[in-house]
Structure 1
């Protein structure tokens, strides 16, 4: 599965033409769906935005402008596993697009995905786990420093179901260096590293302020295979997300007044749930 942004003629709409798919979130909404990390909260802002709560839906896919693909079976070499839509499910979206141009532009959010027709017989189900430095809120965090290095962390999550970890990738704002997932007693098990520039599509003129970033995040590395140090999710494990920023290494995005824009620290992890394993919480 992969998200994109394009013009009516099919051309990619990206930073080089002043267009950003700042972020999008896809929800599966229906009976039996429970968000792994916000399902027990009395209130969860992302779910409220689609007129729901953490129970009755789950965040199942997300993308920032770096447009990381979630090619789940290929992440780990596993086969016969996928996200199983139910007949009672509906899809809901949060979409945040940005236009740096001084005139209106028409662009289309695109979703490209593989699917297997049928009832899913022979395929194990999959569950997403959403880690966020502003968990169950807006995902936006005020930058704690205007220069140099800092770290923002998510509230620790205690695993409430079990399964086989397939893969994970992070999302950060400009100025981000890397994002880690730690598991109690194990240490860092995933290190998703940001790359900048890489192509003309991810390079822009200074936005709003002369010292703002011009080379933007174009890729976040995926933790899969040997890069994934823990491959089993067990109930009671304590998982912590930490997002590391360094404005001396990579420029952040500045507002017109020269202040750093808000930052994000997000990772979505996919877990294979085999028959007989508890799906919780």
Structure 2
């Protein structure tokens, strides 16, 4: 269960924004909740924009574009963030694509655009339990944006400002709130095992950071989409709450970048656990050249989970990383407060990288 000490009580601006969102009328027609649209005001709270000052290029709005009941008490909601206008790549070659064993032989060069955006709560004014999130990057007509259209989703992070982050609570980044979901261009979905859910409160205090890389000489307008499946808590779903825990080789930095050399390399990061419970699901994110992310409990000697990268499965990726496996067996191992957890990142890169990433997010049922 969540403990009181992990809740952020000083939300002031965020609370005011949340109340404003709740008061905002939904638009659209049809049966209640079936195709309603719910917009979020463009501005991100001052406390957030101050935190990421100098790190983002601007803010955009977000909209709930589809909402339907699945028949088993769950609600499926599609949220679109954008339009995000990715700056043109006006100078230099964008590099090569190809079908190497771990991505192209050369680095692709593009122009980066990073935005922040508020995100509407998927359950509109009531607490709910999120059980899955499926991300995507699309154009206004719904077609997918990817390397084959000269753009990629560098990364996206979803924060809950009502709760403290588990592994960055005492750091500056912890002021952003709890990191609850992330996606790279491989667009791995977050699936929590049956019987468990991630609690989201009734007041909209979610926000996101999205970074794009555009390889085209002209600007491109795209949307970051999330299809969220959740169960309203008022239905007494019986789901057990899980806590998201973020493990990161470059933890508590805004961009999560770290260096990897050309060739084979291993990078590690350790964290002394501040919670006790059972890990039920985990998934990772790597860049081109990445092989495997593995989480170990060094105190017990157990391997808790491994997330493997794969390439060449989808032509739209032009040989770049397109898959990261997830661990959703439901019982990956136990963690006790004070245990030393170690994240091990294995790369075999064709070139040196200064902005590699090695991130794993897991969902823990707290028992103490």
Residues 1:262 and 2:366 aligned together: no
Within the candidate set 5, 11, 18, 2:150 is matched to 18
Is residue 21–residue 64 contact of structure 1 (8 Å, CA) maintained in 2? yes
Count residues with an aligned counterpart.
233
For structure 2, list consecutive stretches of 5 or more residues without a partner in the other structure.
1-132
Higher strand share: 2
Q: TM-score, normalised by structure 2?
A: 0.60
What per-residue deviation string (whole Å, max 9, x for no partner) do you get for residues 222-280 of structure 1? 12329x7x422222221111111112xxx35xxxxxx534211100001123xxx33xx
Q: Which has the higher contact order (CA 8 A, sep 6+)?
A: 1
Is residue 192–residue 328 contact of structure 2 (8 Å, CA) maintained in 1? no
Q: CA deviation at 1:136?
A: 0.4
- Residue 170 of structure 1 corresponds to 284
Q: Distance in 2 between matches of 1:98 and 1:107?
A: 11
Structure-to-structure mapping, 1:19-168, within 5 angstroms? 19-30=151-162, 33-41=163-171, 43-44=172-173, 47=174, 53=175, 57-73=177-193, 78-79=194-195, 81-119=196-234, 121=236, 122-137=238-253, 138-143=255-260, 145=261, 147-154=262-269, 156-168=270-282
Q: Distance in 2 between matches of 1:233 and 1:152?
A: 22
Q: CA deviation at 1:191?
A: 1.6
Is residue 297–residue 335 contact of structure 2 (8 Å, CA) maintained in 1? no
Q: Distance in 2 between matches of 1:104 and 1:240?
A: 41
Within the candidate set 275, 286, 294, 1:180 is matched to 294
Q: Distance in 1 between matches of 2:199 and 2:235?
A: 7
- Residue 130 to residue 120, structure 1, CA distance change in 2 (3 Å): farther
- Residue 11 to residue 189, structure 1, CA distance change in 2 (3 Å): same
Q: Distance in 2 between matches of 1:89 and 1:120?
A: 20
Is residue 83–residue 127 contact of structure 1 (8 Å, CA) maintained in 2? yes
- Residue 217 of structure 1 corresponds to 321
Q: CA deviation at 1:92?
A: 0.9
Is residue 132–residue 139 contact of structure 1 (8 Å, CA) maintained in 2? yes
- Residue 196 of structure 1 corresponds to 311
Root mean square deviation of aligned Cα = 1.8
Q: Distance in 2 between matches of 1:128 and 1:29?
A: 13
Q: Distance in 1 between matches of 2:169 and 2:204?
A: 17
Is residue 84–residue 125 contact of structure 1 (8 Å, CA) maintained in 2? yes
Residues 1:6 and 2:138 aligned together: yes
Is residue 177–residue 193 contact of structure 1 (8 Å, CA) maintained in 2? yes
Is residue 84–residue 120 contact of structure 1 (8 Å, CA) maintained in 2? no
Q: CA deviation at 1:89?
A: 4.8
Q: CA deviation at 1:118?
A: 3.7
Q: CA deviation at 1:120?
A: 6.3
Q: Distance in 2 between matches of 1:186 and 1:94?
A: 35
Residues 1:235 and 2:337 aligned together: yes
- Residue 20 to residue 159, structure 1, CA distance change in 2 (3 Å): same
User: What SS does the aligned partner of 1:106 have?
Assistant: strand
User: What SS does the aligned partner of 1:84 have?
Assistant: strand
Q: CA deviation at 1:111?
A: 0.6
